[in-house]
Amino acid sequence: MILYINCCARQESRTHRLAKAVLQKLGGEYTELKLYKENLRPLDSKSLNRRTELIERGDYSDKMFDYAKQFASADTIVISAPYWDLSFPAPLKTYIENIYVTGIVSAYNEKGMPVGLCGANELYYVTTAGGPYDPTFSYGYIESLAKNFFGIAQTRLVKAEMLDIDGNNAEKILNREIKNWT
């Protein structure tokens, strides 16, 4: 199953357009999770304590674990998130906070080292940027989680940048990147 995590706020999102080209190239059906339409909340004291209690009991039947189970069971993951303020939009961080469940997406071995439990073979991170793109706090963060904690060895950055620089033709740049995938 391909899981498409859509973190694009705008209906006419350039990032979503690029992600659709990636999804088309990957082929097959996919499940789309529109983060701006989901009822995701950051963990607070109450939800964190409840989650910790359930994890300690080994009880993953609560609805709060559904996103983590979906993520862990995907064969391929595509994340689309525009480059905002040197990172990605807050709903993606909230989603990550909600899926990072020990016993579902990762575990720790006897030496305290993380062991990924996700079934995905690859993760694609799709983004667009109005100016130059620095992956440090967006793709770099996701890549590190995927490889070091989730057990997803293959990650790929798909980007279109410099879209809003005076004199640049945003449609031409975006279409060139889309064409790479069609």
Q: Is the pTM of this model over 0.85?
A: yes
Number of domains in the chain: 1
Cα separations in angstroms, 177 against 18, 24, 114, 174? 7, 14, 35, 5
- Structural domain for 165, as ranges: 2-179
β-bridge partners, 6: 34, 80
Q: How confident is the model at residue 182 (pLDDT cuts 50, 70, 90)?
A: confident
Helices marked H in 113-165: 139-145
Cα–Cα distance for residue pair 179/182, rounded to 1 Å:
5
- Note whether 158 and 82 are within 8 A (CB): no
Q: What is the pLDDT of residues 54-96, one digit of tens each?
A: 999 999 999 999 999 999 999 999 999 999 999 999 999 999 9
Of all residues in the chain, the percent with pLDDT exceeding 90 is: 98
Residue 15: exposure state from Cβ atoms within 10 A (0-12, 13-18, ≥19): buried
Q: Rounded CA gap, 150 and 140, in Å?
A: 14
**pLDDT higher than 90, residue 1:** yes
Predicted pLDDT of residue 28: 85
Q: Using one digit for the tens of pLDDT, what is the confidence trace for 85-114?
A: 999 999 999 999 999 999 999 999 999 999
CATH number where 112 lies: 3.40.50.360
129 residue type, one letter:
A
pLDDT at residue 97, rounded to an integer: 97
